[in-house]
Structure 1
């Protein structure tokens, strides 16, 4: 029987894990610079947590099962709902705004294809109880800051405001459920299907034309007057337009001007209430979106009070793919800096002692564990990327010394054992 990994999953070996860890740590550092604290949630949750948020239809798209106690559970398909549960369970009395971030794997039972896997990773954050558009401006600036630190090029941040579209529909008597249908179609970019639905909803001709024009608008600050003129007879839409304009001013205060106003962004989820944004990277094909988020009121759906929240998540795997395509992957560090090699069996214990001393001084160190001859030890050490080899010989030990070999130059020198740590720390620092 040949054992294979499950369909839609991947194995990550050494170099790839180093690259992923570098990106993870870079994002983690930026998030914490903005005052966010990390949380972890269970990989599986009650199934009801996700059906309450997304409806019963999501059951067909996720991994769900009954445990031995007959409880209906599901592997988490995303991390926003677990964050809302954490807030309801433990953080309702915490001072606001609450800033938290997460990194973890999620699971979807869907057909694997380019850029889509059944197990994937998300790195994101939620800001609960803040004020819009202040929170939205900071979160969008945070997302851009992460990509700048990773030196990712040619990314585009598109942002819109659902309140503008919903304001028009509400004024024409379109129900909340019907509005959700409209948003889902806009999210798919199906203009013909949208026109058909608006006809079925008997939206008046002026509102229909304005809506269709709005979702096709893209640009910078120059689109604002155009939108203002289009929605001037819709008070709720006008109010949302003013919020969007304020957001753009705040983004510039945060030092970010590389946005595109795109009122065709709908996110397709009914709990989003105002600002929404998505980040695209060309070159990824149909899966060019690497991030998405916005302002939502999910807490209320789960039975809590009405609390405005803003959040977003990077599709971590798509960020990795973007970096790979752009050839901006980080330079990988060697597996170890030092390799300790006993020349003979009788010096093996002393070699272990030296290796452990170096490790306790934060020098990445490997030691010969197989009993190879010196020539093969040096070949292995070279393949491991070690900058230096500590040769531990019986005659040197009698004199209280070891031989240090520089693997790049090939030079060797004897140094006192008592000085080995300080000498290597100095040499490693010089070689960086």
Structure 2
């Protein structure tokens, strides 16, 4: 028996309906903020991703050659393709541009709880609003989307300017090493790395910055930075909206990719893989042949959000089973059509079940049985039965539809 590939999943109806419900909530919330949905190709030229992340990412991607010998890759994330699309298709649009997307992504990595080889990412990108107001909007949008989906999580917001200011005199390779050690909270390794380059005096301000929880505390450690006013304005906006978050200047994600504000969100019940969102301000358009335009965005791990939300609820819609005889099947199809046109999930017997077998099956799968036998067909009526109570009545098709709609029992 063939099995699905490792790191992929099958979704049964209850789970699929739950996913679609949460997708709709996220899309609707994003649209309320002015973010309209776009879609990019599932595969792109491999260079799109190596330009952004370097050749080392190839080992983490699903790559292939097409019949023309072109090196292609299934998308490992959403942002690069969105900015490529902006450069190709939207350079003349009025700014800022507000886009969102829900894309399936592919990465070749070890599957575990909340981490799959095929996964879905909900993202949003704000292009052309390189301002503290833009930074604040993206953070508030992300929080609104996650809260609207029903997720309780911890939000951490930072800015790279104070950290960059402290590390400004280090060689690039040393700076990369120091940032990686800070990201892992490896203070012993940090001390050794700074000692090796005779910059041990940086250890104290770096570790102190990780504990700073207000802009004032951060500036007291690193001194005034050119972005000081921008950071203060962003924080002022976020506080004015009552946002629940932790200011964390120790966030060091993607130093070479992000240019300023950065943020992350974590759910409590996911174990080690507990990050559900990451984002920040960046400049990618120039890398892909466009102008140097500031952007800001985020990616939500849609699958991790659903895992964090817990058990999948059963489908809540009302189900009607139309019961009939061979002689009244045409009438039964017409009755079923009336219920479906009213937006009611309606199922017909498709097997050689007798009347008793149909009723027994309806008791397992439906909330109401609607009998459309020969007698009902001759009178243009149906017999409506509430299966939970056993109550039944003969009525017109319209009255039966109204009874199901209003929850008659």
The TM-score bracket by the shorter chain reads over 0.9
For 1:309, which of 285, 289, 295 is the aligned residue? 295
SS of equivalent to 1:287: coil
The 1-side partners of 2:408 and 2:124 are apart by 38
Q: Distance in 1 between the 2:367 and 2:355 partners?
A: 17
List runs of 5+ in structure 2 lacking aligned partners.
Answer: none
Contact 1:161–1:241 (8 Å) recurs in 2 = no
Is the contact between residue 184 and residue 268 of structure 1 (CA under 8 Å) also seen in structure 2? Answer: no
Q: Pick the aligned partner of 1:224 from 208, 215, 232.
A: 215
In the alignment, structure 1 residue 358 sits paired with structure 2 residue 355? no
Aligned Cα RMSD in Å?
A: 2.0
Residue 405 (structure 2) pairs with residue 428 (structure 1) = yes
Is 2:99–2:126's contact at 8 Å kept on the other side of the alignment? yes
Kept in 2: contact 1:187–1:268 (CA 8 A): no
Structure 1 portions without partners, runs of 5+: none
Structure 2 match to 1:210: 205
SS in 2 for 1:10: coil
Once residues 97 and 330 of structure 1 are traced to their aligned partners in structure 2, the CA distance between those partners, rounded to angstroms, is: 39
Q: 1:400 aligns with which of 350, 366, 380?
A: 380
Q: Say whether the 8 Å CA contact 2:277–2:298 is kept in structure 1.
A: yes
Determine if contact 1:97/1:127 at 8 Å carries over to the other structure. yes
Residue 379 of structure 1 deviates from its aligned partner by: 2.8
Matched, 1:332 2:315: yes
Which moved further from structure 2: 53-62 or 386-395? 386-395
Q: CA deviation at 1:144?
A: 1.7
Aligned residue in 2 for 1:257: 243
Q: Over residues 188-219 of structure 1, what are the superposed CA-to-partner deviations in whole Å (9 max), with x where a residue is unaligned? A: 3333333333334443x44342122212x154
**Is the 2:179–2:252 Cα contact (8 Å) retained in structure 1?**
yes
- 1:283-298 maps to which residues of 2 (within 5 A)? 283-298=269-284
What is the aligned partner in structure 1 of residue 226 from structure 2?
A: 239
Q: 1:371-390 maps to which residues of 2 (within 5 A)?
A: 371-384=352-365, 386-390=366-370
1:218–1:288 Cα change, 3 Å = farther
Tell me if the contact between 2:194 and 2:202 (Cα under 8 Å) persists in the aligned partners.
no
Q: Sort the Cα spacing of 1:127 and 1:421 in 2 relative to 1 into closer, same or farther, 3 A.
A: farther
Residue 393 of structure 2 aligns to a residue in which SS?
A: strand
Could you state the TM-score of these two structures normalised by the residue count of structure 1? 0.89
* Distance in 1 of aligned mates of 2:399 and 2:133: 50
Match of 1:34 in 2: 33
Tell me how far 1:116 sits from its aligned partner. 1.5
Moved over 4 A (4+): 175-178
Matches within 5 A, 1:335-350: 337-342=319-324, 344-350=325-331
Following the alignment from structure 2 to structure 1, what is the Cα–Cα distance between the partners of residues 87 and 59?
Answer: 27
Q: Report the CA distance shift for 1:160/1:118 in structure 2 as closer, same or farther (over 3 A).
A: same
The answer to whether the aligner puts 1:192 opposite 2:188 as a matched pair is yes
In the aligned structure 2, how far is the partner of 1:121 from the partner of 1:54? 20
Relative to structure 1, the CA distance from residue 137 to residue 12 in structure 2 (aligned partners, 3 Å threshold; closer, same or farther) is same
Say which is worse superposed, 111-120 or 42-51, in terms of deviation.
Answer: 111-120
CA contact (8 A) 1:341 1:377 kept: yes
Cα distance in 2 for residues equivalent to 1:218 and 1:230: 9
| Gap change, CA 1:400 and 1:26, over 3 Å in 2 | same
In the alignment, the residues of structure 1 paired with residue 254 and residue 181 of structure 2 have an alpha-carbon distance, to the nearest angstrom, of 7
What is the distance in 1 between the residues matched to 2:255 and 2:304?
Answer: 21
In the alignment, what sits opposite 2:394?
414
Matches within 5 A, 1:78-89: 78-89=77-88
CA distance in 2, matches of 1:295, 1:130: 10
Count, aligned residues: 409
Distance in 2, Cα, partners of 1:281 & 1:115: 11
1:314-361 deviation per Cα after TM superposition (whole angstroms, max 9, x unaligned): 11111111111xx6x556324x5322111x101011111221232233
Give the secondary structure class of the aligned counterpart of 1:295.
strand
In the alignment, what sits opposite 1:156?
154
Deviates more, 1:7-16 or 1:75-84: 7-16
Give me the whole-angstrom Cα distance separating, in 2, the residues matched to 1:206 and 1:166: 15
Residue 75 of structure 1 deviates from its aligned partner by 0.7
